[in-house]
Amino acid sequence: MTCPSCGEPVADGVAICPKCDAVVDPSMFDNKPPEADGETEPSARPLRPAGAKKPGAKRPVTGGAPAAVRRTGNTGVKPAVKKDRPGGQGMPEAPGRKLKEAPVARPDWRVKDEPRAAPAPSNPSGYHMVDPEDFWSDVKGFVSDLSLADKLAFIGAFSALISCFFPWKDTITEGDVLGLMSLGSAVFAVTLVIIIAIIIRVRKVMPALHALVPWLIQFGGACFCIVWCLVYIKLALDTTMARSPIGNFERWVSSPSAGVYIALLMSVMMLAGTLMGLKEKPR
């Protein structure tokens, strides 16, 4: 191509002569709308600046590119367009929009922070410590809720259980013998079973169990304790006179002590409470 103003050769695709700044390709500044038939792809051309001269007019040499080219950076290369409108009109892709971050809630200085409860200490061993005061308060509440018959049976069984830690027999050779360290251990085991049966019946721990079974255990255990205490008194009584190891006198070889008599009395009270309870309908 040749510049129509100065006649200098111009490279293809250049809109303005680099020597005299004359417009060589007026189609680059064409402001006509694209064709509506959509058969041919329209070309996005920049608008002609307001102060640009018409094609063929001479402009003074300014020593550089015109202001329109410097401002837009248009060197004659057609920008890529995106056809996303009906009718074949294209528009450049919009830059990605940055999403606004959610506002961070600030703590209100007027609200006082309540002290947080300390976390419960971990218990890897699996054992749970019971406060003695809580235990005895539970026992008192349990006994106070029992009926009169159950109170007699429970207190009798518990007292017979405690009596096993007292002396049941006094001998010359061994001295005082605790009931738990002799044949009285059988009474200890039976009274423990009776206490468990009363708790199961009152608290209804085992609903599938028939209501008459704990009563039978309680009745049979009370009778066993009475008979066993009488047998123990018979076995512990030996009226043979022998010299006492302490002092200068003679005494029986062995005799029953107070513990077995306490167990016998509490077993009778336990049996009386059981019989009073059996008069009512077991529930």
**DSSP output for 207-222:** TTS-THHHHHHHHHHH
Q: Tell me, what's the pLDDT at 205?
A: 84
Q: Tell me, what's the pLDDT at 69?
A: 45
Determine the Cα–Cα distance for residues 176 and 165; give it in Å rounded to an integer: 11
**Cα diameter, the chain:** 160
Q: Tell me, what's the pLDDT at 91?
A: 58
In terms of Cα–Cα distance, which of 218, 13, 19 is closest to 4? Answer: 19
Q: What is the DSSP letter of 27?
A: G
Domains along the chain? 1-71 (no CATH), 146-279 (1.20.120)
Q: What is the DSSP letter of 272?
A: H
As a dihedral over the C-alpha atoms of residue 174, residue 177, residue 181, residue 184, rounded to 10 degrees, the angle is: 130
Q: What is the DSSP letter of 29?
A: G
Query: Which residue ranges of the chain lie beneath pLDDT 50?
Result: 38-44, 50-51, 54, 56-57, 60-65, 67-74, 77-84, 88
Residue 43's alpha-carbon distances to 15, 30, 50, 62, 71, in angstroms, are 15, 11, 21, 30, 20
* Amino acid (one-letter) located at 50: A
- What are the tens digits of pLDDT across the range 54-94? 454 455 444 444 544 444 444 554 444 444 455 545 556 66
Return the sign of the alpha-carbon dihedral for residues 197, 199, 202, 204: negative
Q: Tell me, what's the pLDDT at 250?
A: 82
Long-range contacts of 34-39 (CB under 8 A, 24+ apart): 34/88, 34/89, 35/88, 36/87, 36/88, 37/88, 38/87, 38/88
In terms of Cα–Cα distance, which of 76, 78, 73 is closest to 24? Answer: 76
Helix (H), strand (E) at residue 127: none
Determine the Cα–Cα distance for residues 251 and 174; give it in Å rounded to an integer: 14
- Residue whose pair of structure tokens reads 């738990």 in the numeric block: 180
* Amino acid (one-letter) located at 248: N
Q: Tell me, what's the pLDDT at 164?
A: 93
Q: Tell me, what's the pLDDT at 39?
A: 46
C-alpha 276, offset from chain centre: 49
